[in-house]
Amino acid sequence: MLGEFEYLILAATVRLGDDAYGAAIVQEIESATRQKCSIGGLYTTLDRLEAKGMIKTWMGNPTPERGGRSKRMVRVLAKGIEAATAFYEAVSTVSRGTSWQAGPAGGRK
């Protein structure tokens, strides 16, 4: 089973398509969650996902807006898609019929 941050990275990578790399993934996650995403955490998690065979990374071409430095490009592999789908289905299933409105049962606001 994937972790929450692993799922966020896989989802952001799929959304970005061919433009998925470190900084772009950070921006995508920060805009979706409205929380800070650490580069350190991202790169460590990318390594872990790559070791599990869920993603593939490689060094891309340098660009002027990065001071001529290369990007670490990311692509999700079939195993990653499978794991992300399973995670999404599990969250959807467990959330079915659940209301997050505040009420007597003590839901979140």
Is residue 34 part of the contact set for another protein (CB under 8 A)? no
Among 3, 53, 62, 107, binds another protein (CB under 8 A): 62
Is residue 32 part of the contact set for another protein (CB under 8 A)? no
C-beta of 81: minimal distance to another protein in Å?
24
Contact 21, 70 (CB under 8 A): no
Q: Which residues of 63-86 are buried (b: 16+ CB within 10 A; e: fewer)?
A: eeeeeeeebbbbebeeebeebbee
Is residue 35 part of the contact set for another protein (CB under 8 A)? no
Residue spans of alpha helices (H) in the chain: 4-16, 22-33, 39-51, 78-95
Is residue 31 part of the contact set for another protein (CB under 8 A)? no
User: Rule CB under 8 A: which residues touch another protein?
Assistant: 21-23, 26-27, 38-41, 43-44, 59, 62-63, 65-67, 69-72
